[in-house]
């Protein structure tokens, strides 16, 4: 069976804080993880209701810091359907061995969280020489790296992509561009300048689905431009469930509505095939 929908950005949170104690990165736990916790069983039920076939589940750094125990254990219950994407301290001297250890336990991808819901963005840790051994290992192991940053971090992302061409990079939330100026979207020029670097990919999450309807932006002008600049094969849908409000079914329906002007082929890449290329363990 060919997967129609592969979610590249949901989260899971355990309700067992004794077994999986919160220890948030930067010391502050995110509001959403306390208000809308989501066990893996809850995610699977939501996926079934929405018709989402598979998912690359992103570790909640603002709940567990660098302890990937829950996301690894949770996804391990559903091999072939769920894949764990975790976080490690890539600046630590033992980062390569830590990555190998987590991969041995089932981790299938990495993520660097430089800021977001609990902290302003600080891209200084991205292009830091102390992280280079970890990045070298990612290329060796064929692991994809997600990066959570805003426009301030794009120069560092560019530098990393050029230094480590074997590593596929995914920008969470499309790199959070400013798009409300509308066509030709000049305020997002720093995003579009990433087009020549073909190892950089982009997540289309509820954040951009909402921003594309604000100010002078429209889905009918913005998303076709994205496809024109990058190609659908570098774009992947992510629900950000349960961080973003709404059911998974509602979040998917909104994404389908926003992308309705794209071709069937482009949508097939965005909703499934790009994700499966980035995470081969989720291939059909």
Q: CATH number for the domain including 30?
A: 3.20.20.140
Residue 261 resides in a domain:
yes
pLDDT of residue 213: 98
The count of structural domains within the chain is 1
**Residue 36 banded pLDDT, cuts 50, 70, 90:** confident
Residue 134 pLDDT > 60? yes
Residue 105 class from Cβ within 10 Å (0-12 exposed, 13-18 middle, 19+ buried)? Answer: middle
Residue 284 resides in a domain:
no
Q: Which residue has the higher pLDDT, 117 or 165?
A: 165
pLDDT of residue 115: 59
Residue 105 resides in a domain:
yes
Which residue in 242, 234, 238, 247 sits closest to 277, CA to CA?
Answer: 234
Residue 172 lies in domain? 6-279
Residue 16 resides in a domain:
yes
- pTM for the full model? 0.94
Phi, psi (deg, nearest 5) at residue 100: -60, -40
Residue 232 resides in a domain:
yes
Q: Could you read off the pLDDT of 93-108 as tens digits, one per residue?
A: 999 999 999 999 999 9
Alpha-carbon distance of 96 to 37, in angstroms, equals: 31
Residue 81 resides in a domain:
yes
pLDDT of residue 121: 66
Bond preceding residue 242 cis, omega within 30 of 0: yes
Residue 227 pLDDT > 60? yes
Residue 1 resides in a domain:
no
> Mean of the pLDDT values across residues 273-281?
97
pLDDT of residue 274: 98
């Amino acid at each position: 069976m060919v997967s129609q929908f592969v979610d590249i950005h949901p989260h899971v949170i355990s309700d067992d804080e004794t077994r999986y104690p919160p220890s948030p990165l930067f010391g502050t736990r995110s509001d959403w993880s306390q208000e809308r916790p989501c066990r893996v069983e809850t995610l699977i039920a939501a996926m079934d209701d929405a018709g989402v076939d598979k998912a690359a589940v992103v570790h909640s750094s603002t709940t567990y810091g660098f302890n990937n125990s829950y996301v690894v254990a949770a996804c391990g219950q559903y091999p072939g359907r769920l894949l764990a994407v975790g976080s490690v301290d890539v600046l630590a001297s033992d980062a390569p061995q830590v990555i190998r250890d987590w991969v041995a336990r089932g981790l299938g991808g990495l993520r660097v969280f430089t800021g977001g819901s609990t902290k302003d963005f600080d891209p200084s840790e991205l292009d830091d020489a102390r992280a280079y051994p970890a990045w070298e290992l990612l290329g060796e192991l064929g692991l994809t790296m997600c990066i959570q940053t805003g426009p301030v971090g794009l120069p560092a992302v560019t530098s990393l992509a050029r230094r480590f061409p074997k590593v596929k990079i995914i920008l969470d939330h499309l790199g959070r561009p400013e798009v409300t100026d509308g066509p030709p979207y000049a305020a997002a020029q720093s995003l579009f300048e990433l087009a020549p670097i073909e190892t950089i990919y982009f997540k289309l999450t509820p954040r951009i689905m909402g921003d594309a309807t604000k100010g002078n932006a429209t889905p009918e002008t913005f998303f076709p431009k994205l496809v024109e600049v990058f190609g659908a094969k570098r774009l992947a849908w992510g629900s950000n469930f349960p961080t973003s409000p709404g059911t998974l079914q509602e979040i998917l329906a909104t994404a389908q509505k926003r992308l309705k002007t794209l071709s069937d082929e482009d949508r097939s890449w965005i909703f499934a095939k790009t994700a499966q290329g980035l995470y081969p363990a989720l291939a059909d």
